[in-house]
């Protein structure tokens, strides 16, 4: 630890898009982001994605055990490149997230990582939040708040992450701290890349719509789009709220009769409309929406989101950040906060009854 109380922390994310593991370093004192460090990536091979896919929707069993072993090995392989990390934030791989039933599962054992790497590991970020009545997600908002402060923002802004699921953080950086009332509102808006990825895998045997080519070339089917967003049960529900990756898997059957490009365009339009509905729940209109996650690389989806919203929609690269690494950086930041015994979630971000410091520290 430096004299100013800061640490170099490595954070990781293996998201529901199942593409690979991101790792990123930041220097933080648990409150401020003082420096952005280097990053790394370890992709999952097609056979590995199938092992992970087979575990989705399960809490235990042989499929989950095999996926957990893969997740741990991939993380050790990647994190072994970060030998100067003083602390590690390990999210694991979500296989199931059913907050209404009080159930969530992130596979991968932080104790085994601490032993293999010789560095303290903070993990199991969601359980305590859920014990306090929270949704256990999303967990990146406190990092978004610190990032907005670092970037010098002083007016409300939205960070939008489009991964397998899409989620947003509305924040007011003029507030004193992210857990204060009115500082942050965060929730899942609906599906993100998951239905488009699943469509591409099922129809074309490729993992994603590379560069958004299918989405750009397709035509949105307005009748199907209306059916996708017409069931307002989730979309109209006020936050807090969060989703399992497969919560909207039924969208695929709605586009069965469409060509692959029309299906991709229609699914993307559903994602964009769900995000637009989500913004209506925010306390005030943001001055801009900054997009991270794989969805920002789908130019067709980004065009649909921009068309659906009434403010500038920009990839986070426009403010000097790496949109592939924000979530990994977030878990580095949260790990530091757990080490400093600071809150990692609050009523405005997960619906927990009070600010919660969630996470387990495993020493080497």
Q: Tell me: the pLDDT tens digits for 295-315?
A: 999 999 999 999 999 999 999
190 with 307, same domain?
Answer: yes
Let me know if residue 142 belongs to a domain.
Answer: no
234 with 167, same domain?
Answer: yes
Q: What is the mean pLDDT of the chain?
A: 95
d(CA 55, CA 248): 17
Let me know if residue 11 belongs to a domain.
Answer: yes
Handedness of CA 77, 82, 84, 90 (dihedral sign): negative
CATH assignment at residue 164: 3.30.420.40
105 with 156, same domain?
Answer: no
Token pair recorded at residue 122: 């903070």
Q: Report pLDDT for 165.
A: 93
- Indicate the pLDDT class of residue 245, thresholds 50, 70 and 90: confident
- Indicate the pLDDT class of residue 2, thresholds 50, 70 and 90: confident
Q: Report pLDDT for 214.
A: 97
Number of H helices, E strands in the chain: 13, 12
d(CA 41, CA 51): 19
Q: Report pLDDT for 16.
A: 77
187 with 303, same domain?
Answer: yes
198 with 302, same domain?
Answer: yes
d(CA 106, CA 204): 29
DSSP letters, 70-93, are HHHHHHHHHHTT-TT-SEEEEEEE
91 with 214, same domain?
Answer: no
Q: Tell me: the pLDDT tens digits for 138-178?
A: 999 999 999 999 999 999 999 999 998 999 999 999 999 99
Q: Tell me: the pLDDT tens digits for 6-55?
A: 999 999 999 877 889 999 999 999 999 999 999 999 999 999 999 999 99
Q: Tell me: the pLDDT tens digits for 71-129?
A: 999 999 999 999 999 999 999 999 999 988 989 999 999 999 999 999 999 999 999 99
d(CA 228, CA 247): 13
Token pair recorded at residue 161: 């992450």
Average confidence (pLDDT) over 348-356: 96
Let me know if residue 281 belongs to a domain.
Answer: yes
292 with 219, same domain?
Answer: yes
295 with 227, same domain?
Answer: yes
Q: What are phi and psi of 40, to 5 degrees?
A: -155, 165
**Which residue is it, tokens 């007016």?**
155
112 with 218, same domain?
Answer: no
Residue 244 has pLDDT above 90, yes or no: no
Let me know if residue 172 belongs to a domain.
Answer: yes
For residues 265 and 196, is the Cβ–Cβ distance under 8 A? no
- How large is the C-alpha radius of gyration of the chain? 19
For residues 296 and 315, is the Cβ–Cβ distance under 8 A? yes
Kindly give, in sequence order, each residue whose CB lies less than 8 Å from that of residue 9, ignoring residues fewer than 6 positions away: 25, 26, 27, 28, 85, 86, 87, 88, 89, 332, 333, 335, 336
Q: Report pLDDT for 231.
A: 65
Let me know if residue 170 belongs to a domain.
Answer: yes
| Structural domain count, the chain | 2
Let me know if residue 83 belongs to a domain.
Answer: yes
Range of the domain at 209: 152-319
Let me know if residue 147 belongs to a domain.
Answer: no
270 with 341, same domain?
Answer: no
Q: Tell me: the pLDDT tens digits for 184-240?
A: 999 999 999 999 999 999 999 999 999 999 999 999 999 999 999 986 689 999 998
211 with 232, same domain?
Answer: yes
Closest CA to 290 of 307, 306, 304, 274: 306
Beta strand pairing status for 87-98 and 7-14? parallel
Let me know if residue 174 belongs to a domain.
Answer: yes
Enter the pTM of the model: 0.94
Q: How far is CA 10 from the centre of its chain?
A: 17
341 with 277, same domain?
Answer: no
């Amino acid at each position: 630890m430096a004299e100013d109380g800061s640490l170099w922390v490595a954070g990781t994310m293996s998201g529901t898009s199942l593409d690979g593991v991101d790792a990123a370093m930041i220097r933080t004192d648990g409150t401020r982001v003082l420096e952005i460090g280097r990053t790394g990536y370890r992709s999952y091979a097609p056979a590995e994605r199938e092992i992970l896919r087979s575990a989705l929707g399960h809490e235990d069993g042989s499929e989950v055990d095999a996926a957990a072993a893969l997740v741990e090995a991939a993380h050790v392989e990647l994190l072994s490149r970060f030998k100067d990390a003083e602390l590690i934030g390990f999210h694991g791989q979500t296989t199931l997230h059913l907050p209404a039933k009080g159930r969530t599962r992130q596979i991968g054992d932080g104790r085994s990582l601490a032993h293999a790497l010789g560095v303290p590991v903070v993990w199991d970020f969601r359980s305590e939040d859920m014990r306090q009545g929270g949704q256990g997600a999303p967990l990146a908002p406190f990092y978004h708040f610190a990032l907005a402060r670092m970037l010098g923002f002083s007016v409300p802004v939205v960070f939008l992450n489009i991964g397998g699921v899409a989620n947003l953080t509305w924040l007011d950086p003029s507030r004193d701290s992210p857990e204060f009332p009115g500082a942050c509102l965060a929730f899942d808006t609906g599906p993100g890349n998951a239905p488009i990825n699943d469509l591409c895998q099922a129809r074309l045997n490729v993992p994603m719509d590379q560069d958004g080519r299918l989405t750009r070339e397709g035509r949105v089917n307005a009748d199907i789009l209306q059916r996708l967003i017409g069931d307002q049960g989730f979309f109209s529900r006020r936050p807090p709220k969060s989703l399992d990756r497969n919560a909207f898997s039924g969208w695929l059957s709605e586009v069965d009769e469409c060509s692959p490009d029309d299906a991709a365009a229609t699914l993307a339009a559903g994602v964009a409309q769900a995000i637009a509905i989500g913004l209506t729940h925010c306390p005030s209109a943001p001055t801009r929406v900054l997009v991270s996650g794989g969805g920002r690389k789908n130019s067709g989806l980004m065009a649909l989101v921009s068309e659906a919203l009434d403010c500038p929609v920009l990839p986070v690269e426009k403010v000097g950040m790496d949109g592939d690494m924000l979530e990994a950086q977030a878990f580095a930041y949260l790990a530091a906060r757990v080490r400093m015994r600071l809150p990692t979630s609050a009523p405005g971000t997960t619906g927990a009854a009070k600010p919660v410091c969630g996470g387990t520290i495993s020493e080497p």
